[in-house]
Amino acid sequence: MSLQEILLQQLFNGLLVGSFYGLVAIGYTMVYGIIKLLNFAHGDIYMVGAFVGLSVLGIIGATAIGNQWLGIILAMIITMIIVGLLGVLIQRVAYRPMLTAPRLSILITALAVSMILSNSVMISMGAQVRPFRTGLGFDGITIGSAFVTHTQLILIVVSVVLMFILHMFITKTMYGKAMRAIALDHDGCRLMGINVYKIVAVTFLVGSALAAAAGIMAGIFWGTVHFMMGFAIGIKAFTAAVIGGIGSIPGAMLGGILLGLLEAFGTQLVGSQWRDVFAFVILILILIFKPTGLLGKKESERM
């Protein structure tokens, strides 16, 4: 395999994995941008989405719809709705009463929610790795010695479409404009008649739905799901959000793609056993030389 073919292969791998990181990182950065919460339970929302998607696809696959792309898209939509509502429920029960509490208290609450989600899935679905079965084949496109399956290409396209829809939602709708306003000034928005709690709930709905979509796509790509799968990607997505500039939605998208590409090419250079080390070295360097991230802005707190 020539150098160009290796680079092409790793480019597709990096884009696909980076799109998963980006979709989960968006949830981190949306919540942080509005209520300044590092929601460490968000990786477990991704994991729950993978398991809910597996269950829904199993039900749909037993019907005439089947478990190929039509069934997968339908299962993804249903799962995004279910997990999105779960995110709203978590926000209402666990986070909303803590919004005026010290930052450390709400952070500990997020860690508790993470443990509740992961252990609940372990008890209900089992601790073993479960296969994510679909009716998709392994056909693809061969460019020299590089091979990219049609499934990988479609997953990349779906990720881009979801990010584009989110961009339009944030920039063109009243809810999106309200989110951006609340991120700037909570009290001013309340005085203008904006229901802050409602907009925060919508934020959790959207972020959780995107994480669920990423969970299903990861299950399709890797072919397995596990109750601890949210831990690693939760940390990676947080890293992506920091790289892009936490609080910036375009930054989360950019950070996810960059982290995926850096991991892919770094794995090619130093070996797969150093993959996570390579990612966190990049995080440390970003924090040292660009603490606000690539697209982040400095914030000044009012006294």
| Residue 117: CATH number of its domain | 1.10.3470
> Measured between alpha carbons, how far is 212 from 190 in angstroms, rounded to an integer?
31
Residue 224, domain member (yes or no)? yes
Residue 182, domain member (yes or no)? yes
Grade residue 35 by pLDDT with cuts at 50, 70 and 90: confident
**Beta strand 146-149 pairing with 224-225:** unpaired
The three-class DSSP label of residue 201 is helix
> Measured between alpha carbons, how far is 294 from 303 in angstroms, rounded to an integer?
27
Task: Please give the model's pTM, rounded to 2 decimal places.
Answer: 0.90
The residues near 6 (Cβ < 8 Å, ≥ 6 apart) are 146, 268
Residue 214, domain member (yes or no)? yes
**H or E stretch covering 147:** strand 146-149
Residue 235, domain member (yes or no)? yes
Q: Which domain holds residue 226?
A: 3-133+149-289
Residue 295 has pLDDT above 90, yes or no: no
174-184 and 3-35 helices cross at what angle (nearest 10)? 70
Contact assessment for residue 256 and residue 19, using Cβ atoms and an 8 Å cutoff: yes
Count of domains forming the chain = 1
Q: Name the β-bridge partners of 140.
A: 149
Residue 96, domain member (yes or no)? yes
Contact assessment for residue 25 and residue 38, using Cβ atoms and an 8 Å cutoff: no
Mean pLDDT estimate for the chain: 87
Residue 303, domain member (yes or no)? no
CB-based contacts of 284-290 (< 8 A; 24+ apart in sequence): 286/242, 286/243, 287/242
Contact assessment for residue 216 and residue 76, using Cβ atoms and an 8 Å cutoff: yes
Residue 117, domain member (yes or no)? yes
Residue 246, domain member (yes or no)? yes
Grade residue 302 by pLDDT with cuts at 50, 70 and 90: very low
Grade residue 300 by pLDDT with cuts at 50, 70 and 90: low
How many Å separate Cα 84 from the centre of its chain? Answer: 13
